Amino acid sequence: MSEYTGHAPSGTSVGRVEKRFFTFAVPPHPLDVDSGRSLGPVTLAYETYGKLDEQATNAVLVLHALTGDSHAAGYYDTADAKPGWWDIMIGPGKPIDTDRYFVICSNVIGGCMGSTGPSSTDPDTGKPYGLTFPVITIGDMVRAQKELVEHLGIKKLLCAIGGSMGGMQVLEWAVRYPDMVRAAVPLATTTKHSALAIAFNEVARQAIMADPKWNCGDYYENDKPGHGLAVARMIGHITYLSDEAMRQKFDRRLQDRCEISFAFDVADFQVESYLRYQGQKFVDRFDANSFLYVTKAADYFNLEAAHGDGSVVAAFAKARCRFLVASFSSDWLYPTYQSRAMVQAMKKNGLDVSFVEIEAKWGHDAFLLPNARLSGMIDRFLDRAAVDAAKEAKESGHAL
């Protein structure tokens, strides 16, 4: 996930927002994770936008991608007006309309933006967990999110929506907690990583672990493995773009020079300079160990193995919600054939599914960028879900 930020061409910002924290799984009642270990206490950093209605039927859970966080919309301070990573989509008058919906976004466990992860303090030692932190899965992330959702007084989500690793969490929500999800929007995602996706993540992890400063994950009192983490980010960033996007953005244009340098310590090409900049910027905001943990969680994700005994059709037999699935034509990390496969499995279970492949030249990151077609589809999809929720509440006698 790149750090695209900007304001939508329509609608307004949610304004100033506040990061909040929810702590649960306090011993002797820790959170059991899929690796067979337990973790506690667990803290989730989260943000909310909009207002929860009296029936608690208008909650939309936004799930972030690999290196995202809870800051999905708005800004923290007028002195730092950098908007959240999906500010183009969330806010008054935007597709995820905060005048209508109560929007929640939390940082995943294993992350480093306020939620419990390897850089957090281990209460047993008083030092950062490092590699003693248990390996976590997408299922563990969702299990923790359920605790937050219930803490907020929500029994059923109007919608779960997210792209990339966020889309994996959407799928996990739909089959793990089918009675808690009315609608689901998985974007630019897959039910399991291909060998190619795993390969890129492994090369990125090896770049971190090959940095001498990584020190087997124990670097918090010393210099962090900045070089390894920067290279890992550069590798990942390449997978988020497309050939056409790279050609249009950079081609073979030189960076601040008229001729090549015949040297290795300078960036001759614009694309080299861009990747170095992205790598260094990432080092300033992300934890190297967290990168290892979240990429491993994405690699381990296998919806059909976890919920369908190897069958994706059997996995989706557990789902009860309607789906809007979107892929992007230039996304070679999670190509359209993977979305089509999940849609076919959904339809074999008689689920209400809408599917679109959106023509977009920017590669995997297209779900983060303004797109009128995607915005319109999400707007209409959420509206339909809200109408159905209101109708159901009225029929059950819970309407005002």
Tokens of 181: 């999800």
H helix intervals, 241-307:
243-249, 270-283, 288-300, 303-307
- State the burial class of residue 146 (Cβ atoms within 10 Å of its Cβ: 0-12, 13-18, 19+): middle
Residue 365 marked as a ligand binder: yes
Q: Between the CA atoms of 82, 88, 93 and 96, what dihedral angle is there, to the nearest 10 degrees?
A: -110
Instruction: Report yes or no: 141 and 46 within 8 Å, Cβ to Cβ.
Output: no
Q: Which residues of 250-271 are buried (b: 16+ CB within 10 A; e: fewer)?
A: beeeebeeeeeeeeeeebbbbb
**C-alpha angle 117/16/95, rounded to 5°?**
85
Longest distance between any two alpha carbons in the chain, whole Å: 76
DSSP reduced 3-state for 42:
strand
Residue 236 vs residues 66, 126, 159, 167, 239: alpha-carbon distances, Å: 10, 33, 29, 17, 5
Instruction: Report yes or no: 64 and 46 within 8 Å, Cβ to Cβ.
Output: no
Residues identified as active-site: 164, 331, 364
Separation between Cα atoms, residue 112 and residue 107, nearest integer Å: 8
| Cβ neighbours of 55 (radius 10 Å) | 16
Closest by Cα among 332, 231, 219 to 278: 231
Q: For the chain, what's the residue count?
A: 400
Sequence-ordered list of residues with C-beta below 8 angstroms from that of 370, at least 6 positions apart, any chain: 6, 8, 9, 88
Residue 233 marked as a ligand binder: yes
What residues are paired with 325 via a beta bridge?
355
DSSP reduced 3-state for 77:
strand
Write out the binding residues for substrate: 233, 365
Q: Which residues are annotated as a binding site?
A: 233, 365
